């Protein structure tokens, strides 16, 4: 495994008493795109939400053991601090409806009352919108409300919002599930470009998407990390029978 940027050690997660993640130990490499795939209910969303401590917001949820970002033990820190270091984009595009495009992009700073120097806000907004391949389309409409964009554009706005915080890694939880094929293809291309500057961890239920865009793929089933390897190996010579059955289409 190349330079890991994020790793878990024997991670267990509970949902109101039920064990949803069983002893997951995994290392996410730096500046690469790691995909996590598996059938519904396998725990992939739970896993990714444990990485930025969103899982514990659910009443009755509990997490055991460790997650490390580089050398920082995330579960000994303030959860809000952790979430500022790790960006997240959700399945349903969720720009803040009362804010303009500009305000949305810079929301991580304004909502957290982080002070910015003069002109810095403009720079941050432009930079992150450019990185999310949205700048050209919205640069003349920055003060319009975010919710008037198309689904694909809204999702890119959410990506820009996450990128604005300059995280080392962003987590994408099925980011294209709610989008049409054209917007999906656009975002897949965007991810290929983005991974050069920020590490990406992607949860997807679309096997073909995992094969197209990722460098490493993890397969999860019933809360366990079944197999984890380079995408090429997983898709040509998977080692575990369950992985093979999933890829071939026997379940999920």
Partner 1 sequence: MRAPKLHRRLFVNGLFRAGIYGLAFGALLPLFLILFDVFRKGLPVIDWNFLVSMPRATGETGGGIANAIVGSLMLIGLAAAMAVPLGVAAGVYLSEARKSRLAYFTRLAVDVLQGMPSVVIGIIAYLWLVRVMGKFTALSGGLALGLMMLPLVVRGTEEVLKLVPAHIKEASLALGVPHYRTVLRVIIPCGLPGIISAVLLGVSRIAGETAPLLFTAFGNRFLEFSPLKPVGSLPLTIFTYAMSPYQDLQAQAWGASVVLIVLVLATNIISRVVITRWKIQF
Partner 2 sequence: MLAEKIREMRERLMEQANLAEEMIDQSIRGLEEQDGRLLRELLTVSEARLNELEIEIGEQCATIIALHEPRARDLRLVLLALRMATDLERIGDHAVNLAQSALFLIERPPVKPLVDIPNMAAEARAMLRDSITSFIREDAALAEGILTRDDRIDEYRDQIYRELITYMVSDATTIERALHLMRVTANLERAADLSTNIAENVIYLVQGRVVKHGHRDEP
What residue ranges bind partner 2 (CB under 8 A)? 189, 192, 208, 211-212, 231-232, 235-236
Distance from C-alpha of 96 to C-alpha of 134, rounded to nearest angstrom:
17
Q: How far apart are CA 63 and CA 49, in angstroms?
A: 11
- Asked whether position 161 contacts partner 1 by CB under 8 A, the answer is yes
Interface with partner 1 (CB under 8 A), residue from 22, 84, 205, 212: 84
**Rounded Cα–Cα distance for residues 36 and 21 (Å):** 14
Of 135-154, binders to partner 1 (CB under 8 A) are 145, 147
By the rule CB under 8 A, 108 interacts with partner 1: yes
Which one of partner 1, partner 2, none interacts with residue 75, CB within 5 to 8 A by kind? none
Least distance CB 73 / partner 2 (angstroms): 35
- Minimum CB separation of residue 223 from partner 1 in Å reads 22
Instruction: Determine the Cα–Cα distance for residues 58 and 53; give it in Å rounded to an integer.
Output: 10
Under rule CB under 8 A, residue 88 binds partner 1: yes
DSSP string of 85-147, one letter each residue:
HEEEE-SS----TTSBHHHHHTHHHHTTT----TTHHHHHHHHHHHHTT-HHHHTT-TTSBGG
* Cβ proximity to partner 2, 38 vs 95, nearer residue: 38
């Amino acid at each position: 495994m190349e330079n890991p940027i994020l790793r878990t050690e024997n991670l267990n997660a509970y949902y109101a008493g039920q064990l949803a993640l069983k002893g997951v130990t995994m290392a996410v490499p730096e500046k690469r795109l790691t995909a996590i795939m598996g059938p519904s209910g396998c725990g992939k969303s739970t896993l990714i939400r444990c990485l930025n401590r969103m899982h514990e917001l659910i009443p009755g949820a509990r997490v055991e053991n460790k997650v490390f970002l580089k050398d920082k033990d995330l579960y000994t820190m303030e959860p809000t601090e952790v979430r500022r270091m790790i960006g997240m984009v959700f399945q349903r595009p969720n720009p803040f409806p009362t804010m303009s495009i500009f305000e949305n992009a810079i929301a991580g700073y304004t909502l957290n009352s982080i002070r910015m120097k003069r002109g810095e806000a403009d720079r941050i907004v432009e930079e992150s919108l450019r990185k999310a391949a949205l700048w050209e389309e919205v640069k003349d409409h920055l003060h319009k409300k975010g919710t008037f964009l198309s689904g694909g554009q809204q999702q890119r706005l959410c990506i820009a919002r996450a990128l604005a915080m300059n995280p080392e890694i962003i987590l994408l939880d099925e980011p294209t599930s709610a989008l049409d094929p054209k917007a999906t293809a656009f975002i897949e291309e965007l991810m290929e470009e983005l991974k050069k500057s920020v590490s990406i961890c992607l949860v997807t239920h679309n096997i073909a998407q995992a094969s197209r865009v990722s460098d490493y793929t993890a397969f999860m089933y019933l809360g366990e990390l079944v197999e984890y390897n380079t995408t090429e190996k997983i898709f040509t010579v998977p080692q575990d029978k369950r992985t093979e059955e999933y890829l071939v289409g026997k379940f999920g």
